[in-house]
Amino acid sequence: MTAQSNQNNHYQGQVKPEWLDYNDHMNLAYYVLAFDLATDFYYKGFGIAEDHIKQQKRSMFTTEINVSYHKELRLGDSFYIKTWLQDHNDKLIHYLHQMYNQQHQLVASNECLAIYVDMETRRSTYFPASIKNTLSETIKNQQRELLPEDIEWRLGIRR
């Protein structure tokens, strides 16, 4: 599956035959894979793509996730993933993916906490100003009213 975007800049995909389990629906591991592909797609918007990782020797490492499953997907079903940035600090980001089917029904949610890492030392490091500014602008500009109010946040950045 390759990253695709629609006019809303959401990650899109389709359930492949190899993603099915013995219950004839998408296996839970492939929901996580789809969310991971959406994460890479989302990070590109902050300037954290393969060229940044190679040139700056900095990347994002996921430290914790929480996945909730709401509806099943079956072979050939199309889906899209919306992502919201909940919070950030000098080294961490906290965000939420929500996967929807073509009927715009919530299928699964993936809450994530990730840290910016120096690839040479393999230790956390500070976001450069350009990325930190983009993160701040994202929180300021994203349409918060689109984020469902009934989200039970399980993760967060300690203050």
Q: What percent of the chain has pLDDT over 90?
A: 75
**C-alpha dist (Å) from residue 106 to 54, 65, 91, 92, 103:** 36, 18, 30, 26, 9
Q: With contact defined as beta carbons under 8 Å apart, do 108 and 36 qualify?
A: no
Q: With contact defined as beta carbons under 8 Å apart, do 49 and 41 qualify?
A: no
pTM, rounded to two decimals: 0.86
Of 135, 128, 125, 131, give the one whose Cα is nearest residue 47.
131
Q: Name the percent of the chain in helix, strand, coil, to the closest 5.
A: 25, 35, 40
11-141: CATH class: alpha beta
pLDDT value for 143:
62
Q: pLDDT for 103-127, tens place per residue?
A: 999 999 999 999 999 999 999 999 9
